[in-house]
Amino acid sequence: MKLTDIFNIAEKTFSFEFFPPRDQIAALDLGINIGHLLRLRPAFVSVTYGAGGSTQSRTFELVDYLKNKVGLNTVAHYTCVGSDRKKTLEDLQALRRMGLQNFMLLRGDPKAGSEQGYVPLKDGFANATELIAFARKHIKNCCIGGGAYPEVHPESLNAETDLQHLKMKVDAGCDFLITQFFFDNRRYFDFVARARKEGILCRIIPGVIPLTKYDQLERFVKLSRAAVPPAFLDQLESNKDNPDAIYNIGMDFAIRQCRDLLMLGAPGIHFYTLNKSRATVEIYQTLMVR
Ligand SMILES: Cc1cc2nc3c(=O)[nH]c(=O)nc-3n(C[C@H](O)[C@H](O)[C@H](O)COP(=O)(O)OP(=O)(O)OC[C@H]3O[C@@H](n4cnc5c(N)ncnc54)[C@H](O)[C@@H]3O)c2cc1C
């Protein structure tokens, strides 16, 4: 089912993002966690595509498994790093032959350590706008999502140009957007308000990542440049040597963040699960009973 059809009937959706497991043990672990998460009946799940196309075959295998064996509405992420138009068309057609109708199309980042930044291949794509326009033209009957950055994409000059680029991306054929994760809900709601003024009318689903370990703090902030509310940061810093306390602080924060997002009108939540289930299940169950 296309996500646009789901959006027509569901005011709010809950969805989970997975990455392809590295090895057999990680695959077993993911299988168990997917089992737990399935009970929450997600509207859809999505599978990431490793930087530089490094996980292509594992992404496609997991997508095929979730869509065709487990029977979930599945979104395949795809990036154009390392892909020219010919390869992109072959890859998207291969996913389409699996029955996939939902794609999250991203420019992607070069592999870690690469000094040049993003450089498109000859006959490749300069940005996600070009990739999305290409997919819209060549892949029939599909639903396309794109990434959005409430705290501005790191390569953008400023918030205004980033938003103008986002408008071009949506006009090129995006049906929905999922945001980079953030910790301050005001950033999301301000961003949505600015996007609406810019004429971006599609669903903008907030991405939420539960922070449950102290060492995730630096990693997450580095990845997203997300502002961390000072009171939350203080709590984390003053309990950094106590993993149980960090878990509880992170969960308490994530539950409040999700509850406020939903109460203030967000159209659901996309959980960055990190292939785990405990935190997402606990947040979800708490939200449902309150
Ligand atoms: C929800 C979500 C899921 C993600 N999943 C993955 C994944 O599976 N695999 C992965 O490798 N990465 C993933 N990423 C990370 C993403 O690949 C990086 O953030 C990347 O740097 C930008 O990708 P994009 O599609 O947002 O790029 P773009 O939309 O192309 O934006 C990149 C830069 O180009 C600019 N730009 C965009 N369009 C134009 C235009 N028409 N003209 C001029 N400039 C333009 C933007 O302002 C921005 O500065 C994900 C990000 C998000 C938010």
Domain assignments of the chain as residue spans, ordered by start: 3-289
Does 177 sit in the ligand 1 pocket, CB within 6 Å? no
Does 20 sit in the ligand 1 pocket, CB within 6 Å? no
Can you give the pTM of this predicted structure? 0.97
Residue 75: C-alpha distances to residues 6, 100, 190, 196, 237 (Å): 13, 7, 27, 25, 36
Q: What is the pLDDT of residue 197?
A: 98
Choosing from 17, 90, 130, 155, which is the catalytic residue?
17
Q: What is the pLDDT of residue 289?
A: 62
CB 213 within 8 A of CB 246: yes
Q: Give the whole-angstrom CA distance, residue 45 versus residue 66.
A: 8
CB 6 within 8 A of CB 73: yes
- The sign one gets for the Cα dihedral 177, 180, 186, 187 is negative
At 77 the three-state DSSP class reads strand
At 83 the three-state DSSP class reads coil
Q: What is the pLDDT of residue 134?
A: 98
CB 21 within 8 A of CB 65: no
Q: How many whole angstroms from 106 Cα to the centroid of ligand 1?
A: 5
Does 256 sit in the ligand 1 pocket, CB within 6 Å? no
**Chain Cα centroid distance, residue 193:** 20
Spell out the per-residue pLDDT of the chain, length 290, in tens: 999 999 999 999 999 999 999 999 999 999 999 999 999 999 999 999 987 777 899 999 999 999 999 999 999 999 999 899 999 999 999 999 999 999 999 999 887 777 788 989 999 999 999 999 999 999 999 999 999 999 999 999 999 999 999 999 999 999 999 999 999 999 999 999 999 999 999 999 999 999 999 999 999 988 888 999 999 999 999 999 999 999 999 999 999 999 999 999 999 999 999 999 999 999 999 988 64
CATH number of 3-289: 3.20.20.220
Q: Give the whole-angstrom CA distance, residue 138 versus residue 121.
A: 19
Q: How many whole angstroms from 161 Cα to the centroid of ligand 1?
A: 14
Burial class (CB in 10 A: 0-12, 13-18, 19+), 110: middle
Q: Give the whole-angstrom CA distance, residue 266 versus residue 12.
A: 8
Does 279 sit in the ligand 1 pocket, CB within 6 Å? no
17 among known catalytic residues = yes
Q: What is the pLDDT of residue 52?
A: 74
Neighbours of 90 (CB within 10 A): 11
Q: What is the pLDDT of residue 147?
A: 98
Choose which residue among 107, 134, 208, 225 to substitute to test ligand 1 binding: the one with the highest number of ligand atoms within 8 A of its C-beta.
Answer: 107
Does 155 sit in the ligand 1 pocket, CB within 6 Å? yes
Neighbours of 165 (CB within 10 A): 16
Q: Give the closest residue (by CA) to ligand 1 atom 36.
A: 165
Q: What is the pLDDT of residue 117?
A: 86
Q: Give the closest residue (by CA) to ligand 1 atom 39.
A: 165
Cβ neighbours of residue 146 closer than 8 Å, sequence gap 6 or more: 104, 105, 106, 128, 132, 166, 169, 170, 174, 176, 177, 178
Please give the angle made by the CA atoms of 51, 55 and 60, to the nearest 5 degrees: 125
In the numeric block, which tokens belong to residue 215? 């060492």
Q: Give the closest residue (by CA) to ligand 1 atom 27.
A: 107
Q: What is the pLDDT of residue 51?
A: 77
Please give the angle made by the CA atoms of 280, 105 and 187, to the nearest 5 degrees: 55
Q: What is the pLDDT of residue 111?
A: 75
